[in-house]
């Protein structure tokens, strides 16, 4: 067992409506602008926060230039999210035993969590676990790996930091349907989560405990989602088959997971799910046989913040923790991403 003490999300201060973003991209895409706008209008995204001023996206440079911008903006954003999450947990940086970081939108060596260690008062023997390549799966995977670690080290505390600046990956010369969909969905943000093991002094203060985690890998789905890398950085790979995969794979995966603990889907009281996009959320509701209201935090996050890749499920976790409940409630925290695969975390929330 482990527990989540806090979850905090921070977005860049540049916030734009979907209409404003579509208008700027229309200036670049010319004859393809109408098609792009149609995808954007159906994304259910209302506003997005971006690392740069909107006009700056017309002149994004090569991979190196974009990555420099990623480091410049990711470090302070992550620092703020971590500072907030630590304050909410009432722990300090020096109390953390392991930092797990994830991002799919930039590369840094030393990695992001090492840069945070140079800015904050972490112990010099703090362990680090940077994770790359997980994409939208990343936030859920971090929670799962933190739980695995805390099961082995029940007196320890873990900090998770996820930072994504998806807007810096926009390829404005790519007029594929996948890219038009992506530029209408993805956005920027950073999230931090603090977790502790069952024998930690703060465990009893937690409002949400983690019971178990499970990974699920789906063979021969490599080109469903991911990046192709070119001179301008990360080029989106995104198949229209994602919703069908969700409906096909999720039911059996969830059943297998719950069977471990002699639970049934009817025992689950809440779902903390990465939003993906509107078609993915609709498919997930069908796969779990639940009303769309069960995914209200996912829909809210998508509308207000867009798809922030690994950050989104942690934003939805933060929103969930802010809602009150009258009695104990079992839940599933889950996300799907490149490979194609999924991560599931079984949770219990207490009043």
What single string gives the DSSP state of each residue in 58-104?
Answer: GG---HHHHHHHHHHHHHHHHHHHHHHHHHHHT--GGG-SEEEEEES
Give, in order, the Cα–Cα distances in Å from 288 to each of 122, 168, 264, 295: 41, 34, 11, 11
Cβ–Cβ under 8 Å, residues 3 and 203: yes
Question: Measured between alpha carbons, how far is 146 from 135 in angstroms, rounded to an integer?
Answer: 17
Tokens of residue 169, six digits: 């990956």
Q: Which of 136, 142, 166, 341 is catalytic?
A: 136
Give, in order, the Cα–Cα distances in Å from 152 to each of 2, 199, 205, 233, 257: 10, 11, 20, 38, 20
Catalytic (active site) residue 136: yes
Give, in order, the Cα–Cα distances in Å from 226 to each of 110, 145, 262, 271, 338: 23, 21, 35, 25, 5
How does strand 268-273 pair with strand 329-337? parallel
Active site residues: 136
């Amino acid at each position: 067992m482990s527990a989540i003490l806090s979850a905090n999300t921070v977005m860049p201060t540049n916030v734009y409506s979907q209409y404003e973003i579509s208008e700027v991209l229309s200036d670049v895409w010319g004859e393809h602008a109408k098609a792009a706008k149609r995808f954007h209008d159906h994304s259910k995204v209302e506003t997005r926060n971006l690392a740069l001023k909107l006009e700056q996206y017309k002149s994004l440079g090569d991979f190196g230039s974009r990555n420099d911008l990623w480091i410049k903006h990711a470090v302070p954003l992550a620092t703020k999210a971590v500072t907030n999450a630590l304050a909410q947990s009432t722990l300090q940086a020096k109390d953390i035993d392991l930092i797990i970081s994830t991002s799919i939108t930039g590369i840094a060596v030393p990695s992001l969590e090492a840069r945070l260690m140079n800015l904050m008062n972490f112990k010099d023997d703090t362990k680090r676990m940077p994770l790359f390549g997980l994409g939208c799966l990343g936030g859920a995977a971090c929670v799962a790996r933190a739980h695995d670690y805390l099961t082995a080290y029940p007196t320890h505390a873990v900090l998770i930091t996820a930072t994504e600046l998806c807007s810096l990956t926009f390829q404005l010369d790519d007029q594929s349907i996948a890219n038009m969909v992506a530029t209408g969905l993805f956005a920027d943000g950073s999230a931090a989560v603090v977790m502790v093991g069952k024998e930690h002094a703060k465990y009893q203060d937690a409002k949400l405990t983690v019971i178990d985690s499970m990974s699920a890998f789906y063979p021969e789905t490599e080109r469903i989602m991911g990046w192709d890398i070119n001179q301008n950085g990360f080029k989106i790979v995104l198949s229209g088959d994602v919703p069908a995969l969700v409906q096909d794979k999720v039911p059996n995966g969830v059943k297998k997971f719950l069977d471990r603990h002699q639970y049934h889907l009817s025992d689950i009281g809440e779902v903390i799910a990465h939003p993906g996009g509107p078609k993915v959320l609709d498919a997930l509701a069908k796969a779990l046989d639940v009303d769309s209201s069960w995914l209200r935090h996912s829909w809210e996050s998508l509308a207000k913040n867009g798809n922030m890749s690994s950050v989104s499920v942690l934003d939805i976790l933060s929103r969930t923790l802010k809602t009150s409940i009258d009695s104990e409630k079992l839940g599933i925290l889950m996300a799907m991403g490149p490979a194609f695969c999924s991560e599931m975390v079984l949770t219990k929330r207490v009043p």
